Amino acid sequence: MRIRTRLLILILAILVPSFIAAALAVSYVYREEQKSQVQSVREATRAFALMLDNELQARAAILRTLAAAPSLRDGDLHEFYEHARGVAPHSETVIILADPDGRQLLNTRRPFGAALPQRRASNIGKLMQRHGPERTLVSDMFMAPIGKLPDYVVQVPVMDGGTLRYFLIMGINVKSLQQLVRRQDFRGEWIATVVDRSGVVLARSRNPEQFVGKPVRAYSRDLLNRSQEGVYSSRTLDGIDVRAFFSTVPLSEWKVLVSIPVSEIRRVPLEAAAMLAGLMAALLAAGVLAARWLARRAIGPIEYLGRSADELGQGKEPDYRPQGIVEIDSVARRMQDAGRQIRQAQHELEQRVAQAVAATERVQSALLKSQKLEALGRLTGGIAHEFNNLLQTLSTALQLAELNNRDDKVRGLIQTCKKTVQRAAALTGQLGSFGRIQEARQETVDACGQLRSARQLMSGALREDIDLQIDCDEPSWPVTVEPLQFDLALLNLAVNARDAMPRGGVLRIEARNVVLAPAAAGSALAALAPGDYVRVSVSDTGSGMTPEVLARALDPFYTTKAQGQGTGLGLPQAYAFALQSQGLLLIDSEPGKGTRVDIYLPRARRAAPEAAPDAPDAPLPRARGTVLFVEDDALVREAVSHALADAGFEVLAAHDGEQAVAMLDGGARPAVVFSDIVMPGAVSGIDLAAIVRQRDPLLPVVLATGYTERQAAIPGVQVLAKPYPIERLVTLLARAAARQQELK
Set out the domains of the chain in order of their start, with CATH numbers: 1-293 (3.30.450.20), 294-431 (no CATH), 439-602 (3.30.565.10), 626-743 (3.40.50.2300)
User: What is the DSSP code (8-state) at residue 431?
Assistant: G
Contact indicator for 706, 386 with CB cutoff of 8 Å: yes
Indicate the length of the chain as a whole number: 744
Higher pLDDT, 68 or 20: 68
Q: Containing H/E element for 261?
A: strand 255-261
- 28: amino acid identity, one letter: Y
CA 91, CA 89: separation in Å to the nearest integer? 7
Give the C-alpha separation, 504 to 482, whole Å.
31
pLDDT above 60 for 10: yes
Closest CA to 646 of 666, 627, 665, 671: 627
* DSSP reduced 3-state for 536: strand
pLDDT in tens, 614-654: 444 556 677 788 899 999 888 888 888 888 888 888 989 99
Percent of the residues in the chain that have a pLDDT greater than 70, as a whole number: 75
DSSP 464: T
Which pLDDT band, with edges at 50, 70 and 90, does 454 fall under?
confident
pLDDT over 80 at 245, yes or no: yes
- Rounded to whole angstroms, how far apart are CA atoms 655 and 386? 16
For residue 552, how many other CB atoms are within 10 A of its CB? Answer: 13
Least confident of 352-361, 382-391, 436-445: 382-391
163-173 and 93-98 as β-strands: parallel, antiparallel, unpaired? Answer: antiparallel
φ, ψ for residue 387, nearest 5 deg = -65, -45
Residue 602 above 80 pLDDT?
yes
Mean pLDDT over 361-380 rounds to 35
Q: Closest Cα to residue 581, out of 534, 537, 514?
A: 534
Task: Give the best-scoring range by mean pLDDT among 10-19, 353-362, 576-585.
Answer: 576-585
pLDDT of res. 256: 93
Mean local confidence (pLDDT), 67-84 = 89
Residue 439 one-letter amino acid: E
Strand order in the sheet with 718-721: 650-654, 626-630, 672-676, 701-705, 718-721
653 CB-near residues (< 8 Å, 6+ apart): 629, 630, 631, 637, 641
Cβ-contact 599, 492 below 8 angstroms = no
What pLDDT was estimated at residue 86? 83
* pLDDT reading at 587 higher than 50: yes
pLDDT at 348: 73
My answer on whether omega of the bond before 502 falls inside 30° of 0, hence cis, is no
Least Cα distance to 181 among 41, 78, 55, 360 occurs for 55
Summarize pLDDT for 100-152 with one digit per residue, the tens. 988 889 988 888 888 888 788 889 989 999 998 889 999 999 988 877 888 89
Return the pLDDT at 430. 47
Query: For residue 164, what is the DSSP state?
Result: E
Count other Cβ atoms within 10 Å, centred on residue 171: 26
The Cα 630–Cα 627 span in angstroms is: 9
The residues near 650 (Cβ < 8 Å, ≥ 6 apart) are 625, 626, 627
Between strands 650-654 and 626-630, the pairing is parallel
| Of residues 59, 86, 77, the one with CA closest to residue 116 | 77
* 506 three-class SS: strand
The whole-number pLDDT of residue 381 equals 31
User: What integer best gives the mean pLDDT of the chain?
Assistant: 79
What local confidence, expressed as pLDDT, does residue 441 receive? Answer: 61
Tell me which long-range contacts 174-183 makes (C-beta under 8 A, separation of at least 24). Answer: 174/141, 174/150, 174/202, 174/203, 174/212, 175/92, 176/92, 176/93, 177/52, 177/202, 177/203, 178/203, 178/204, 178/208, 178/212, 180/51, 180/52, 180/55, 181/205, 181/208
In angstroms, the first-to-last Cα distance of the chain is 53
CB neighbours of residue 161 within 10 Å: 5
Q: What span, in angstroms and rounded, lies between the C-alpha atoms of 1 and 9?
A: 11
What are the strands of the beta sheet with 255-261, ordered from one edge?
A: 201-204, 191-195, 255-261, 241-248, 229-235
701 DSSP β-pair partners: 673
Summarize the confidence of residues 237-255 as an average pLDDT. Answer: 89
Residue 269, pLDDT > 80, answer: no
Instruction: Please indicate whether residue 9 or residue 61 has the higher confidence score (pLDDT).
Output: 61
The string of pLDDT tens digits covering residues 374-394 is 332 233 233 555 666 666 577
Range name among 321-330, 511-520, 541-550, 614-623 with the lowest pLDDT average: 614-623
707 pLDDT more than 70: no
Cβ(623)–Cβ(647) below 8 Å? yes
- pLDDT for 209 equals 87
Query: What are 715-733's pLDDT values in tens digits?
Result: 778 787 777 788 888 888 8
pLDDT for the residue numbered 479: 92
Report pLDDT digits (tens) over 461-490.
888 899 999 999 888 899 988 887 888 888
Higher-pLDDT residue of 523 and 71 is 71
- Average pLDDT for 583-598: 92
What does the alpha-carbon distance between residue 565 and residue 394 come to, in Å, rounded to a whole number?
35
Q: What is the pLDDT of residues 557-574, one digit of tens each?
A: 777 776 666 667 778 888
Nearest 5 degrees, angle CA 210-CA 215-CA 219? 125
597 contacts 382 by C-beta, under 8 angstroms: no
**509 pLDDT more than 90:** yes
d(CA 72, CA 257): 40
C-alpha of 242 from chain center: 30
| pLDDT the model gives residue 102 | 86
**pTM check: above 0.85:** no
Predicted pLDDT of residue 92: 76
CB 430 within 8 A of CB 418: no
pLDDT average, residue stretch 364-371: 36
The one-character DSSP state at 258 is: E
